[in-house]
């Protein structure tokens, strides 16, 4: 993914990707996928971002990031390599929400299916315990990663990547 090689720090980008949503079989929904798009930041240092937010709140900026829980950095703060695949690391913009559309077996999810999907996903979300331990309980920095293979479009630094 050459587009990320020459990025400036904290590049604002538009991303569109499709990913599989893993749900328990007991929900009986079949193959669930999610098409997501939105404004994000790329090439952003997690530890520095958390410490800047702590400092802005008058807290001591003493947060130390732990190593990646999976994979290893291929390009620091940009690309992760894991089990033969590459993942783009990005961060949600403050106050921005990604837009997502859910599909079940290739068709738009019904309202009933959406209720099941969102209830399960809400139940499994968690905040960062390490950020909370450092004093950042609200407005946490939320890193995300998506398989490069799932990216349909990425616009960053004046360049466009489209699958």
Residues 85-122: tens digit of each pLDDT: 999 999 887 777 899 999 999 999 999 999 999 998 88
List, for residues 6-59, the tens digit of each pLDDT value: 777 888 999 999 999 999 999 899 999 999 999 999 988 889 988 998 999 898
Q: Among candidates 157, 161, 163, which has minimal Cα distance to 13?
A: 157
Q: pLDDT band for 125, please (50, 70, 90 cuts).
A: low
Lowest mean pLDDT among 11-20, 122-131, 148-157: 122-131
Q: What is the pLDDT of residue 131?
A: 78
How do beta strands 79-82 and 32-42 pair? Answer: unpaired
- pLDDT at 106 (0 to 100): 95
What is the rounded average pLDDT of the residues 69-98? 89
Mapping DSSP onto H, E and C, the string for the chain reads CHHHCCCCCCEEEEEEEEEEECCCHHHCCCCEEEEEEEEEEECCCHHHHHHHHHHHCCCCCCCCCCCCCCCEEEECCCEEEECCEEEEEEEECCCCCCEEEEEECCEECCHHHHHHHHHHHHHHCCCCHHHHHCCCCCCCCCEEEEEHHHEEEEEECCEEEEC
CA distance 13 to 96: 12
For residue 136, is pLDDT > 80?
no
Can you tell me the distance from the alpha carbon of 84 to that of 61, in angstroms, rounded to the nearest whole number?
36
Do residues 39 and 155 make contact, with C-beta atoms less than 8 angstroms apart? no
Q: Is the pLDDT of residue 154 over 90?
A: yes
pLDDT at 127 over 70: no
Domain boundaries, the chain: 2-162
Sign of CA dihedral 113, 151, 83, 92: negative
Q: What is this structure's pTM?
A: 0.84
Looking up tokens 């399960």 gives 120
**153 HSE (CA, 13 A, CB side):** 9
């Amino acid at each position: 993914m050459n587009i990320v090689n020459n990025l400036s720090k904290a590049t604002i980008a538009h991303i569109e990707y499709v990913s599989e949503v893993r749900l328990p079989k007991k929900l009986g929904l079949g193959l669930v996928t999610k098409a997501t798009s939105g404004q994000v930041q790329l090439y952003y240092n997690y530890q520095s971002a958390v410490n800047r937010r702590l400092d802005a709140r008058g807290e001591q900026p003493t947060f130390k990031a732990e190593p990646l829980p999976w994979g290893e950095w291929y390009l620091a703060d940009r690309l992760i390599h894991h089990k033969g695949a590459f993942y783009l690391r990005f961060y949600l913009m403050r106050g921005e929400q990604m837009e997502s559309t859910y599909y079940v077996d290739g068709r738009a999810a019904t309202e009933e299916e959406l209720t099941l999907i969102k209830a399960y996903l809400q139940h499994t979300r968690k905040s960062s315990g390490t950020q909370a331990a450092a004093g950042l309980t609200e407005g946490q920095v939320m890193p995300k990663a998506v398989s490069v293979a799932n990216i349909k479009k990425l616009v960053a630094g004046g360049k466009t990547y489209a699958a």
